[in-house]
């Protein structure tokens, strides 16, 4: 069994999309349809893969711009947490506010991810869901435990954390999510974030200034 991951950084704020391919069954899962649906579709096709599922870590515009068109191109179901549905419904208006022209409509979810953990399987790909609010109310991370890889969305970055000044964001919730849900997964876990370069949870536990400050405050509370 071989799992391969392709990374595409696209869209107006350079957001990472991940295509996970099972080279035995040639089935794939796409995490965060960030932009340019034809390119995402072609990238999978060029690898010989069929996208069987589309997942969104959360509903902020830069993670779902291609959701509707990619659904139409692939026929794959689109999953997101229900708490972020308002972001999807307001996607065109977000474009008007931010860039002066409407974004395309978002894809309609085929079902909703929940706060309870579940295992998503496509071919030999197994992803465990982790409810990770703080950056967005319905944020979900996806953990490939067997390979020690975490698709973390916009919770945690190399040397930084996700923004909490956007609607539905909460700093205390995000830091609790990071320290109580993500870091315990293990220092060797490789974090593939929604923006910027990959890192490891151990690197962030030891050196991320936001984590160090938060844990110091906890210890001295």
Identify the CA nearest to 189 among candidates 140, 164, 156: 156
**Whole-number Å distance between alpha carbons of 91 and 120:** 26
pLDDT tens readout for residues 89-144? 999 998 898 899 999 999 999 999 999 999 999 999 999 999 999 999 999 999 99
pLDDT tens readout for residues 147-201? 999 999 999 999 999 999 988 999 999 999 999 999 999 999 999 999 999 999 9
Residue 33 near residue 154, CB atoms below 8 Å: no
Q: For the chain, how far is it from start to end, CA to CA, in angstroms? A: 48
| DSSP symbol at 41 | H
Domain count, the chain: 1
Contacts with 216 (C-beta within 8 Å, 6 or more apart), sequence order: none
Range of the domain at 96: 3-219
Q: What is the SS3 assignment for 193?
A: strand
**What is the CATH number for 104?**
3.60.15.10
User: How much is the pTM?
Assistant: 0.96
């Amino acid at each position: 069994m071989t799992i391969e991951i392709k990374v595409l950084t696209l869209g107006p704020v350079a957001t990472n999309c991940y295509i996970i391919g099972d080279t035995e069954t040639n089935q794939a899962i796409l995490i965060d349809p960030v932009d340019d649906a034809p390119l995402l579709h072609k990238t999978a096709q060029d690898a010989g893969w069929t996208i069987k599922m589309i997942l969104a870590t959360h509903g902020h515009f830069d993670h779902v711009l291609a959701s509707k068109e990619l659904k139409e191109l692939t026929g794959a179901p689109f999953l997101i947490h229900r708490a972020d549905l308002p972001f999807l419904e307001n996607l065109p208006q977000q474009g008007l506010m931010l860039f002066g022209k409407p974004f395309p409509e978002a894809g309609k979810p085929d079902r909703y991810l929940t706060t309870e953990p579940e295992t998503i399987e496509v071919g030999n790909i197994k992803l465990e869901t982790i409810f990770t609010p703080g950056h967005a109310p319905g944020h979900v991370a996806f953990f490939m435990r067997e390979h020690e890889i975490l698709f973390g969305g916009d919770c945690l970055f190399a040397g930084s954390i996700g923004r909490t000044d956007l609607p539905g964001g909460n700093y205390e919730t995000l830091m609790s999510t990071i320290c109580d849900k993500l870091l315990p997964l293990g220092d060797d876990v490789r974090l593939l974030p929604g923006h910027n370069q990959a890192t490891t949870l151990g690197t962030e536990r030891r050196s991320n200034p936001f984590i160090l400050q938060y844990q110091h405050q906890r210890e001295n509370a």
